[in-house]
């Protein structure tokens, strides 16, 4: 007996129904993913800190200082904090130059994020199969120190990038560098240029010469492993590289809101 149209429809309908179910599932998954992504972005945006007070007010503490304090307590130790805030004008120009060479030689060219350096960092991390290299600007490092954590979590990194752009939008370059030089870790419980200068060289941040400044800048990458007062061969090699490049770098000349 020849097949009727009804029989043909009966064969097609189950396949069509399955295809519709698959497409429907894909659509729901896509909408769900978009919803989760939008929710994450909204949460990040709504919980971002207000950086405008930093124009004229120095922070009493930072997220990184508090993290180190918790780590000390967890290990049964009393938290150590050596920090003495100094104005931008009371920090050696040699230290400013050395830190720019060591940490962010494109400081003048970017607006918080050095996308070329970030891309190189991501490519190297991808090739190794893990996140190793920072690729962070001074502004990003300041954002992380003030508000975030050292975690490699992608959402944390996204917050860092957004905060860095906000810092650049609200603060002058000199103020960003002033904040950075006063809060970064320079040893176990040592924070900022003044405390570091006094701890390692028994002098003020204003009186640091080129060699001392280059040693301090070289140690930023490993502040609790390298001691500028008793430099290792690796630290000295890094110091010499920085010294050779310091003359071509110009730090910001003034601070303003």
Give the max Cα distance, the chain.
105
Burial class (CB in 10 A: 0-12, 13-18, 19+), 215: buried
Q: Which residues contact 67 (CB under 8 A, 6 or more apart)?
A: 149, 150
| pLDDT digit string (tens) for the chain, length 257 residues | 555 554 555 554 666 677 667 766 677 666 665 655 555 555 455 579 999 999 999 999 999 999 999 999 999 999 999 999 999 999 999 999 999 999 998 898 888 777 666 556 545 544 444 333 346 899 999 999 999 988 878 888 899 999 999 999 999 999 999 999 999 999 999 999 999 999 999 999 999 999 999 999 999 999 999 999 999 999 999 999 999 999 888 887 765 54
Name 82's bridge partners: 190
Say what the pLDDT of residue 112 is: 77
* Centroid of chain to Cα 35: 28
Q: Which of 116, 97, 83 is nearest to 189 (CA)?
A: 83
Say what the pLDDT of residue 131 is: 35
């Amino acid at each position: 007996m020849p097949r009727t149209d009804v029989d043909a429809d009966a064969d097609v309908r189950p396949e069509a129904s399955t295809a519709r179910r698959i497409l429907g599932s894909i659509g729901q998954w896509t909408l769900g993913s978009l919803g989760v992504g939008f929710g994450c972005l909204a949460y990040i945006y709504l919980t971002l800190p207000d950086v405008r007070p930093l124009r004229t007010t120095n922070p009493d503490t930072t997220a990184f200082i508090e993290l180190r304090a918790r780590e000390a307590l967890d290990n049964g130790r009393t938290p150590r904090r050596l920090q003495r805030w100094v104005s931008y004008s009371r920090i050696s120009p040699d230290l400013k130059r050395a830190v720019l060479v060591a940490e962010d030689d494109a400081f003048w060219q970017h607006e918080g994020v050095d996308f070329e350096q970030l891309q190189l960092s991501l490519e190297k991390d991808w090739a190794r199969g893990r996140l190793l290299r920072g690729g962070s600007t001074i502004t990003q490092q300041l954002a992380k120190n003030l508000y975030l954590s050292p975690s490699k979590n992608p959402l944390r990194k996204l917050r860092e990038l957004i905060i860095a752009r906000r810092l650049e939008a609200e603060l002058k370059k000199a103020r960003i560098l002033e904040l950075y030089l006063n809060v970064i870790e320079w040893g176990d419980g040592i924070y900022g240029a003044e405390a570091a200068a006094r701890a390692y060289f028994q002098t003020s941040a204003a009186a640091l010469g080129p060699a001392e400044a280059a040693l301090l800048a070289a140690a930023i990458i490993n502040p609790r492993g390298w001691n500028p007062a008793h430099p290792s061969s690796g630290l000295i090699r890094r110091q010499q590289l920085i010294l050779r490049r310091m003359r071509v770098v110009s730090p910001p000349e003034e601070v303003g809101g």
